[in-house]
Amino acid sequence: MIEYAGIRDRHRHELDQRRMRAYARIPELQELEQQTPSLAMDLLRKRLLAASPQEGGSDAGHPSFRETAAQISRRRTQLLTQNGFPPDYLEMTWDCPDCRDTGYIGHEKCRCLRRRETAVLYDQSNLEMLAADADFSNLSESYYTGEDLERFRHARRTCERFVDEFDRVFRNLYLYGTVGTGKTMLSVCAARALIEKGKSVLYFSAASLFDRLADCTFGSGTRDALRDFTGDLYNCDLLIIDDLGTEFTNAFVASQLFSCISERELNRHPTIISTNLSLKEMQARYSDRVFSRITSTYEICKLTGKDIRLQRRRRGRRA
């Protein structure tokens, strides 16, 4: 809304500048526009007096306000065009004529506001570059065969259902398996689809997430900064923690991971975690309580197969 107010201010300033240029060239135009408010009030006063029963008069013979306004408008247009200006030179302009830069049409959000919201959500999510081509319709099954293909199809259906039922069914996803099998791409596809629906999404690699938490906790950041960051972390519509296990794991990381998944569970905000760790490795690296929380409250999808990135490089060399 602050941005929209700034847009309206800019257009008002531009109109003032155009008005000054027009007045400098056409003094009569300035006189005409200065007369308009007083003419309107005078006309209204005459009509009220004429229509008053006490006065016993009639408003017959008095031009209507619309007639007078139309005459003034025609004269203004004539003066502008005669002096080389476009006929709409003194009209307000808008970035979005549909909502006149308010963001709303009646009580409904305008398309321009929805586009702006989506852009802000992408900017806040850390996903803008990753999500450029992320779409379920773009996913290829050509990199999988046999059991690997069945697992990929199951994971894809699970992620699509996660998006479709996001507002109705609370669920979390845990995507794990071998390197380069599409775990990150599936989570980013889900994130993009939800951002397009206006949901707030935060994406972090595990390493960057726990580095950020450590910096807010032990670094130069203030307590307010930590509270603000964890508030966003716990309350965004969707949190994605990618590549869990690539961070330097210690007691602080294990504690923060448990706090994060517990708080989001308490607030009923979904989380997607992707990792190359097996369930046993995850249990050994973090804690039994993290393992218990994930295995009891997350839908678990395993992906296996050959590294897609390596397959793409090989295909590229053959091409």
| Structural domain spans, the chain | 2-93, 126-318
Distance of alpha carbon 191 from alpha carbon 119, whole angstroms: 14
Distance of alpha carbon 241 from alpha carbon 261, whole angstroms: 10
Average pLDDT over residues 266-295: 93
Average pLDDT over residues 20-46: 78
Q: Which of 129-138, 141-150, 151-160, 195-204 is the least confident region? A: 129-138
Residue type for position 174:
Y
Q: pLDDT grade, residue 61 (50/70/90)?
A: very low
pLDDT at residue 225, as a whole number = 80
Beta bridge partners of 271: 239
Q: Which of 37-46, 47-56, 155-164 is the least confident region? A: 47-56
Residue 136 predicted with pLDDT over 50: yes
Average pLDDT over residues 164-177: 96
How big is the CA angle at 6 (ends 129 and 200), to the nearest 5 degrees? 35
3-state SS assignment for residue 38 = helix
Cβ-based neighbour number of residue 34 at 10 Å: 11
Nearest to 202 by CA among 160, 248, 213, 302: 213
pLDDT digits (tens, 9 = 90+) for 93-107: 999 999 999 999 998
pLDDT at residue 222, as a whole number = 67
Element (H, E) at 301: strand 298-303
pLDDT at residue 319, as a whole number = 47
- Token pair, residue 200, equals 């707030």
Distance of alpha carbon 143 from alpha carbon 153, whole angstroms: 12
- Token pair, residue 72, equals 């003034």
Nearest to 114 by CA among 136, 94, 96, 128: 96
Residue 59 per-residue DSSP state: -
Residue 176 predicted with pLDDT over 70: yes
Distance of alpha carbon 156 from alpha carbon 136, whole angstroms: 8
Residue 132 predicted with pLDDT over 90: no
Distance of alpha carbon 302 from alpha carbon 276, whole angstroms: 10
Distance of alpha carbon 257 from alpha carbon 288, whole angstroms: 12
pLDDT at residue 144, as a whole number = 93
Q: Which of 105-114, 186-195, 260-269 is the least confident region? A: 105-114
Distance of alpha carbon 312 from alpha carbon 133, whole angstroms: 16
Q: pLDDT grade, residue 13 (50/70/90)?
A: very high
Cβ-based neighbour number of residue 307 at 10 Å: 13
Q: What average pLDDT is seen over the chain? A: 86
Average pLDDT over residues 178-200: 91
Nearest to 143 by CA among 135, 152, 131, 134: 152
- Tokens 């408010």 found at: 37
pLDDT at residue 83, as a whole number = 92
3-state SS assignment for residue 70 = helix
- Tokens 């490089």 found at: 313
Structural fold of domain 126-318: Rossmann fold (3.40.50)
Distance of alpha carbon 214 from alpha carbon 256, whole angstroms: 9
- Token pair, residue 256, equals 């923060």
Q: Which residue has the higher pLDDT, 127 or 84?
A: 84
- Residues contacting residue 31 through CB under 8 Å, at least 6 positions apart: none
- Distances in whole angstroms, Cα of residue 36 to Cα of each of 29, 202, 254, 304: 11, 54, 72, 76
pLDDT at residue 229, as a whole number = 85
Helices (H) and strands (E) in the chain, counts: 12, 7
Q: pLDDT grade, residue 264 (50/70/90)?
A: very high
pLDDT digits (tens, 9 = 90+) for 282-305: 999 998 999 999 999 999 999 999
Residue 53 predicted with pLDDT over 60: no
Average pLDDT over residues 258-265: 95
Q: Which of 228-232, 268-272, 313-317 is the least confident region? A: 313-317
Distance of alpha carbon 184 from alpha carbon 306, whole angstroms: 15
Distance of alpha carbon 296 from alpha carbon 290, whole angstroms: 10
